[in-house]
Amino acid sequence: MSIQKFIDYLLLEKKYSPQTAVAYQKDIEAFQLFISQEFSESEISKANYSQIRSWIVQLVDRSISNRTINRKISSLNSFYKFLLKIEVVAVNPLIKHKALKVSKKIQIPFSETEVVSALNGINPETFEGLRDKLVVELFYSTGMRRIELVQLQIQDIDLSQKHVKVLGKRNKERIIPLLPSVINTIESYLLERLKLESIKDPSIFFLTKKGTKVYEMLIYRIITGYFDTVSSKVKKSPHILRHSFATHLLNNGADINSVKELLGHSSLAATQVYTHNSVAELKKVYEKSHPRNLI
């Protein structure tokens, strides 16, 4: 019962997305199953830190990454904070827990040339080709997340005001400007969209050729498919295109706070992970330009 109350709290009060709430629920239920099997403890509220440590050890033994383990423990910590809030427990057993160390993964963005090459490799003469071109253009020109793009509705696109309304994490809305070139592609896409034989839900912006809503894996395949032919980078995904959006803006002098708002980040720290590339670019300019280095 407490777990369901917590999920309701995340959805109704914290305004978390259903996907995020489900992820929390799975992590908490996995721990509940563990203590019931290993310690014959059916009440998760009675678990102690020693039992949580045993779960962590088991996860490590199963070769689960430290990053994933930290996420699971974070879910559990949020749950115990909630139990503390509603006075089900007197102490959070994770109050003194320290997260496992994780190596920082530097995600290399696509270059501007690679983005242009990928767009040039798309044939916009078909509905799917035009849709795919728009998918790449929107990711690169707005920095939106994959789920945000999938959930876009017709009413979110305002061509008269030249912007798109995006519903981000915790149902937080943000407005992102649209470039003239992207508006042209949107107008062409909408005309082709009208020619589809059947549309299951007219409110959905991005559709398959069968008239159904696109899904996250399809969007992932679209990005990897076109960028596989132009980039040798190991990681190719919608997130890397979002990463490229932020990095290229910073490289060209954009204010980091503005980039933060465009990305929909709640804190500046989340945006600062993109600055390492702009610093690298700055170093190149510095080394090429400083008179002491030219001697």
Q: Give the pLDDT confidence of 106-116 residue by residue, as tens digits.
A: 678 999 999 99
Percent above pLDDT 90 for the chain: 71
Which of the following is catalytic: 242, 243, 248, 260?
A: 242
The reply to whether 67 belongs to the active site is no
Per-residue confidence band for 287, with pLDDT thresholds at 50, 70 and 90: low
Per-residue confidence band for 201, with pLDDT thresholds at 50, 70 and 90: very high
Handedness of CA 77, 79, 84, 90 (dihedral sign): negative
pLDDT given for residue 2 in this prediction: 85
In single-letter form, the type of residue at position 45 comes to: S
pLDDT given for residue 203 in this prediction: 96
Judged against a pLDDT cut of 90, whether residue 25 lies above it is answered with yes
Choice between 118 and 273, residue whose per-residue pLDDT is larger: 118
The reply to whether 169 belongs to the active site is yes
pLDDT given for residue 286 in this prediction: 53
pLDDT given for residue 294 in this prediction: 54
pLDDT given for residue 233 in this prediction: 85
Handedness of CA 212, 217, 219, 222 (dihedral sign): negative
The residues pairing with 163 across neighbouring beta strands, listed in sequence order, are: 158, 177
Residue entry with tokens 């969209």: 193
Which residues, including other chains, have CB under 8 Å from residue 162's CB and lie 6 or more apart? 177, 178, 180, 183
pTM of the entire predicted model: 0.71
Structure tokens at 155: 């009413």
Q: Give the pLDDT confidence of 26-72 residue by residue, as tens digits.
A: 999 999 999 999 999 889 999 999 999 999 999 999 999 999 999 99
What are the distances in angstroms from CA 58 to CA 48, 54, 62, 76, 180?
16, 6, 6, 16, 54
Which of the following is catalytic: 145, 193, 236, 243?
A: 145
pLDDT given for residue 291 in this prediction: 57
Judged against a pLDDT cut of 70, whether residue 275 lies above it is answered with no
Most confident of 192-196, 255-259, 270-274: 192-196
Rg, C-alpha atoms of the chain = 23
pLDDT given for residue 292 in this prediction: 58
User: Assign residue 256 a region: left if phi > 0, alpha if psi is -120 to 50, beta otherwise?
Assistant: alpha
Q: Give the pLDDT confidence of 230-243 residue by residue, as tens digits.
A: 998 888 999 999 99
Mean pLDDT of the chain: 89
Which of the following is catalytic: 97, 213, 239, 276?
A: 239
Which of the following is catalytic: 169, 174, 213, 276?
A: 169
Which of the following is catalytic: 16, 80, 140, 274?
A: 274
pLDDT given for residue 269 in this prediction: 76
Per-residue confidence band for 280, with pLDDT thresholds at 50, 70 and 90: low
Which of the following is catalytic: 72, 146, 260, 265?
A: 265
DSSP string, the chain: -HHHHHHHHHHHTS---HHHHHHHHHHHHHHHHHHHHHS----GGG--HHHHHHHHHHHHHTT--HHHHHHHHHHHHHHHHHHHHTTS-SS-TTTT--PPP-PPP-PPPPPHHHHHHHHHT--TTSHHHHHHHHHHHHHHHH---HHHHHT-BGGGEETTTTEEEEE-GGG-EEEEE--HHHHHHHHHHHHHHTT-S--S-TTBSSB-TTSPBP-HHHHHHHHHHHHTTT---S--SHHHHHHHHHHHHHHTT--HHHHHHHHT-SSHHHHHTTHHHHHHHHHHHHHHH-HHHH-
pLDDT given for residue 107 in this prediction: 76
Choice between 143 and 293, residue whose per-residue pLDDT is larger: 143
The reply to whether 9 belongs to the active site is no
pLDDT given for residue 265 in this prediction: 85
DSSP string, 97-110: --PPP-PPP-PPPP
The reply to whether 274 belongs to the active site is yes
The reply to whether 239 belongs to the active site is yes
In single-letter form, the type of residue at position 266 comes to: S
pLDDT given for residue 73 in this prediction: 96
In single-letter form, the type of residue at position 256 comes to: I
Per-residue confidence band for 102, with pLDDT thresholds at 50, 70 and 90: confident
